[in-house]
Amino acid sequence: MPYLSFHVSQDVSRSQAQAVPDTLTELTATLLGKKRELTAVEITCAKAGRWYVGAQDVASQSQVGFYLEIKVTEGTNTKGEKAQYIDAVFAAVAEIFGDVAPASYIVIHEVHADAWGYAGQTQEYRYIRGKSL
């Protein structure tokens, strides 16, 4: 049940707007083992001249900047899985948008199982319920 918040330094085309959730959902499912049907992706676009790296507008450098935050349940992925995911996401975003600023970030937040959930139940409750059946 990951939640992904994708921020990008430009407006996106219709094809990019579909490629982002398609690609991120696929990578999240295959590399982190998360359920596709529970993966939520939000896309936020910054206006031109509103994304800076090193106090320089990335658009003036013909680059695209991005920031991805993903929330997953704590302890459900290894360091190796997370490293592979970060590498694959960076490469995939470069395929979608072209020249990506190296200072584009991917942050995996591991949330305690008792601190989040969906459909009104925490992840911890789902785990305990599954063990007791």
Task: Return d(Cα 107, Cα 5) in angstroms, integer.
Answer: 10
Beta strand extents in the chain (DSSP E only): 3-8, 40-45, 52-53, 56-57, 66-73, 105-111, 117-118, 121-122
The token pair that represents 104 in the structure block:
């584009």
Burial class of 104 by CB neighbour count within 10 A (0 to 12, 13 to 18, 19+):
buried
Which residue's structure tokens are 């083992």? Answer: 33
pLDDT for position 130:
86
Backbone angles phi, psi at 4, to 5 degrees: -115, 130
Q: Are 37 and 74 in contact (CB under 8 A)?
A: no
Calculate the average pLDDT of the chain: 95
Quick one: pLDDT band at residue 1, thresholds 50, 70, 90?
confident
- What pLDDT does 112 receive? 95
What's the pLDDT tens digit per position in 74-119? 999 999 999 999 999 999 999 999 999 999 999 999 999 999 999 9
| Chain centroid, CA 83 distance in Å | 13
